[in-house]
Amino acid sequence: MAALIIAGKKAYEEWVLGKMDHRSDELFLMSSIWSPVAVIGLYLYFVKCVGPRHMKNRPAYELNGVMKAYNLTQILCSVYMLLYSLKAGWAFKYKWLCEPVDYSFTASSIDVVRCVWTYMMIKLLDLVDTVFFVLRKKAAHTSFLHVYHHAIVFFGAWCCTKYVPGGHGTFIGPVNAFVHIVMYTYYFVTATWPEYRKSLWWKKYITQLQLAQFLIVTLHSSTVLFMDDSCKYPKPLAAFLAVQNGFMFILFAEFYVKSYRRKIK
């Protein structure tokens, strides 16, 4: 037992602590891996325990004004993220098939670190979606798909900021930002002018856009796996991104079939 504990401690120090990129240490939530673990723990505890218990004998909160402000904030954050990620690499500098991570201390590489951290902070803001669902007693919306997606994306964004802040895997940044601009614009319009909720035809196409996002990122991440050693982006990480986004594609496809295809039939 003692040998197992020592081996675990050594692995933790070598792989978790030893592989960290310390250029992000001064940024919010980036000083320790226990920061995102605590955030996700509190998120799950509220969503599955505290929130439902609090709302059990209470009427749903309206939150109309808060929801409008939140959706508008998400639109502005997504526009900023899209422009920032394009400026930092994907519009002018990065190669599409394979882009290694720049671990130097140049101004451009530090800017990329901050760009990836900004993406992580937006994923932190995304967790508020679930809080609103709980307070509005939308229990059907707090599904495994929703909760898993939000939790794993936030933790993955933290890991990318801490270990691989830049390079090939950041392609999801501009793609996801564009999808969120469309998605939260729909939410903002329907929250501000609820009379248009029935007439807006593009709700199901938002899910199709999300499916396209996961498929594109899966294929883009997979290109690294078929390249020789000249591609310096870590293949295990590329494989994880491909598998994770492929898994999300399957989950969202199942949701799409249940929500739209079966209703049509």
- pLDDT tens for 167-220 read 999 999 999 999 999 999 999 988 888 776 666 666 778 889 999 999 999 999
Whether pTM > 0.75 for this model: the answer is: yes
Band of the pLDDT at 1, cuts 50, 70, 90?
Answer: confident
Residues 35 and 117 sit within 8 Å (Cβ to Cβ): no
Can you tell me the mean pLDDT for 229-240? Answer: 90
Has residue 259 got a pLDDT over 80? no
- pLDDT tens for 205-223 read 888 999 999 999 999 999 9
Q: Give the closest residue to 246 by CA, choosing from 209, 263, 221.
A: 221
Amino acid at 94: Y
Can you tell me the mean pLDDT for 65-71? Answer: 95
For residues 142 and 135, give the distance between their C-alpha atoms in angstroms, rounded to a whole number. 11
- pLDDT tens for 100-158 read 999 999 999 999 999 999 999 999 999 999 999 999 999 888 999 899 999 999 999 99
For residues 242 and 45, give the distance between their C-alpha atoms in angstroms, rounded to a whole number. 29
Active site residues: 149
Residues 166 and 102 sit within 8 Å (Cβ to Cβ): yes
